[in-house]
Amino acid sequence: MGQAPTNLDFPGPGELMRSPIPAVVLWLALGSVARAQAPEAADGGTPGLRLCISSDSCAAFHGYGSVCTDGQCAPYQDKTDLFSLIGLTKKGEDPPEPFKPMLSILPVVAYNPTQGALIGAAAILGIYLGDPKTTTISNISANILYTTKNQWLSGINSVLMLADNSWQLQGDWRFLIFNQDTFGLGTGTPPVATRFTLNGYGTTQAIPGAQPMDMNLIRIRETFLKRLTETFYIGAGYAFDRYYAIRDLLLDLNATPAVVTSHYAYSTLAGFNPSGYNTSGPSLNVLWDSRDSTINPYRGIYAAINYQWYPTFLGSAQDASLLSGEFRTYIGLSPSVPRNVIALWFMFQTTVSGKLPYLDLPAIGWDSRNRTGRGYVQGRWRGTAELYAEVEWRFRITDNGLVGGVVFANFETFSSLPVSYLGFVDNGVNLFQTIAPAGGVGLRFMMNRQSRTNITLDVTVAQRTFGVYFGAGEAF
């Protein structure tokens, strides 16, 4: 809690489990896969055919992101990017071809205080699974990394857009030999932070800070979404998580006084084996997506609802279900400079029935892209229910679009259930009883103006922590 974490997270397989890759690696990788096309005119013809005298009229007719250039409406594009500066992008490139794989295999060498030094390899495959004029590029990312803290990190992350975006297939496969601190449940003070009396163990020892754990994870998650209208998708999915070889490094029931960790206490009370457990089951998913880009939107709404069921007959440790929802919207501030945007992000998760294992409970930094809670280390907040909100002001700094900036703030609140066990009583924590804020500022360096992919550098401040986040792609 007292130290200043440095988090270097790039998108990739499961966000590479929040492990870093040097920026130059991402430049080379994304240069071969991020070839997002500019949107076509509203009538399906060539962009920029509508005459104009101001960007206001273009935005009103084509939508925010269309600007008036030389008397004609055209999709906004920055004048330069990092690829242009280092000679990786040339004017007049041949248009992308459907079903032509674009593969990069790259070495990875990096360091951060959480994982120490790490080394490994990453592969990124880009491919159009349909006509590039009507189909968004698909991507598959894979990595295998080893750290000086004896961690193995590997995974495959995929977003496949079938022809004409008729289906969207999302995948997240991970294998981790991992260790991470946990801090109890809820955004309040966890019960183990103070001494308490427990029949059979007497008065326990207080654990006021981090509770280190070793664990391994196998994760398989796939979602299949069918487009029903221009912006509405519905589909089903399957999720499997197996946490095993779990070891609470501070747990010592034979000590005097006994040391009882949050994970052990929760698992014992809820009836889980503290050394390992599974969740496995189907999901129902509904999605509304009107964004103009999945990488860096200038306009639109993303709204999703997911109901995840974990029945025991499919291998879950206990019957349970989880309801989650997400809402993002992007509000333009300047028709002539579409990069000036207010972006809002809201998310909730709550257990609907049964009990989830400790490590599968909603937690900061463990969302699908590992991006919630900038300012806090992954897993700093965890609970039976979560509400999360973030606002970010994005703006262009240099006229050529090479450099931009952001100012952001996020707020999270987690709950925990009341407990009465062997003489110990805890009232739990309700949502909004304690709110954890964080915020910061950042720079954006346009890496690829066609795909709107940025190199990001954020400096954050949270409760007694200071962080630096270095990555690629917007947080949401």
Report pLDDT digits (tens) over 387-414: 999 999 999 999 999 999 999 999 999 9
Over range 252-271, report the average pLDDT. Answer: 91
Q: How many CB atoms lie within 10 A of CB 370?
A: 20
Q: Is residue 475's pLDDT more than 90?
A: no
Contact of 376 with 18, CB cutoff 8 Å: no
Over range 53-77, report the average pLDDT. Answer: 88
Per-residue H/E/C for 67-129: EEECCEEEECCCCCCHHHHCCCCCCCCCCCCCCCCEEEEEEEEEEECCCEEEEEEEEEEEECE
What domains does the chain contain, in order, with CATH numbers?
6-38+77-472 (2.40.160.50)
Residue 272: HSE in the Cβ half-sphere, 13 Å Cα cutoff = 29
pTM across the whole model: 0.82
Tens of pLDDT along 8-49? 333 333 333 333 333 333 333 333 333 333 333 333 334 435
Per the model's pLDDT, the better-predicted residue between 215 and 369 turns out to be 215
Q: Is residue 370's pLDDT more than 90?
A: no
Tens of pLDDT along 207-249? 888 999 999 999 999 999 999 998 899 999 999 999 999 999 9
Which among 411, 472, 467, 412 has a CA at the least distance from the CA of 441? 467
Contact of 456 with 278, CB cutoff 8 Å: no
Per the model's pLDDT, the better-predicted residue between 26 and 143 turns out to be 143
DSSP 192: G
